[in-house]
Amino acid sequence: MASRPIFDRPNLVGASRAELTALLSPLDPRGYRSGQVFHWLTRRLAASFDDMTDLPKTLRAALVNFAVVADPEVVATRRGDDGTVKVALAYPDGAVIEAVLMVMDERVTLCLSSQAGCAVGCAFCVTGALGAGRNLSGGEIFGQYRVIARSEGLVGTPVNVVFMGMGEPLLNLAAVARAIELLTETMSPRRITVSTSGIVPGLKQMTEWPRRPNLAISLNATTQEQRARLMPLAARWKLDELLQTLRAYPIERGRRITFEYVMIAGINDSMDDALRLPRLLRGLPVKLNLIPLNPDATYLPGLAAPDEARISEFAGALAAANMNVTVRWSKGRGVAAACGQLRGQLYRRAGASEVAPITLVDGA
């Protein structure tokens, strides 16, 4: 569900080529003009019509009265000692999300949010503990990329994009698909990763996409009982059904499915879990990331990461089973930007109007 309309003119950020052609034809019917505007919005990331310097001044003046170029507003920026940058971005209806910029081994990765809040309610995630908000539109998602790329001097610089911020991307799949369509104007789908808690209907829809991004699955459990405890909404689709769907998912040569496994002491870190994981994932092209829980005494009471000895033992058992496994110590913990720590709702503006809740997919 898109945000409520707040402009008396159309916002061109998020429009497709065809939509721009239709919108701008009353001003200039020549298709190449709308192509120029699309280029400025998606490749040059122009913040205003004045930036579009190869358009005639008369057309730029007409555009100002006809449409807007509107991105989310930066509410707060926090910079960590490890180079992580967390940005809180506000939309006109009062919804606020967080996006994160990370630098790892000279690779720049931008983590985007697909929803203002999250309805999945994973027990180990602050965003889920704070509850559902609303879906973002494709333009609102793409706007996060535009704003941060401009503010951090990344326009024209190769970056990786991961949909691992606030929200469950597959509960807002049409908007995520639009955002990816716009992102692939400047980057390969291989630079984009969509992470999901395992929303099976959405995964089945993605199999039909002509160009697919990388796929990451937030697994976190080796039994259905664990999954129901840790991920109550995602557990509506049984673990066996999820894995069956993934085995039918088309994976191009040289690509893998990333599985994320948040390790929580006393819940999913037993050696029995370590033995079950290889059996569960057998036959899939797998990259497994073990992520020690990022604790939060306020929103995740009673949960803690295992100690380093247990994490090392767990990872060693997986490696011995010939699994491609990495322990991923989260970046950005110093600014609450690590996995499961985003909490954009806390920035919500006083007096902002209520926003519509997230709508779940059929069967959710």
- How many angstroms separate the first and last alpha carbons of the chain? 16
Note if 73 is an active site residue: no
Question: What CA–CA distances, in Å, run from 266 to 67, 101, 226?
Answer: 55, 32, 11
Full DSSP string of 229-240? HH-TTGGGS-HH
Which of 240, 235, 233, 211 is CA-nearest to residue 225?
235
Q: Could you give the CA distance from residue 214 to residue 224 in angstroms, rounded to a whole number?
A: 25
What are the structure tokens assigned to 174, written together?
């049409």
Question: HSE (CB half, 13 Å, CA atoms) of 311?
Answer: 20
Question: What CA–CA distances, in Å, run from 34 to 31, 39, 64?
Answer: 6, 9, 15
Which residue of the set 111, 122, 125, 339 is catalytic? Answer: 339
Q: Could you give the CA distance from residue 87 to residue 78 in angstroms, rounded to a whole number?
A: 7
**Which letter, b or e, does each residue of 47-66 get, where b requires 16 or more Cβ atoms within 10 Å of its Cβ?**
bebeebeebeeebbebbeeb
Which of 10, 12, 34 is CA-nearest to residue 21?
34
Which residue of the set 98, 140, 168, 260 is catalytic? Answer: 98
Contact 307, 264 (CB under 8 A): no
Pairing mode of beta strands 85-90, 115-116? unpaired
What is the Cα 263 distance to its own chain's centre?
21
Alpha helices in 124-207 (DSSP H): 126-130, 138-151, 173-183, 200-206
Note if 98 is an active site residue: yes
Catalytic amino acids? 98, 339
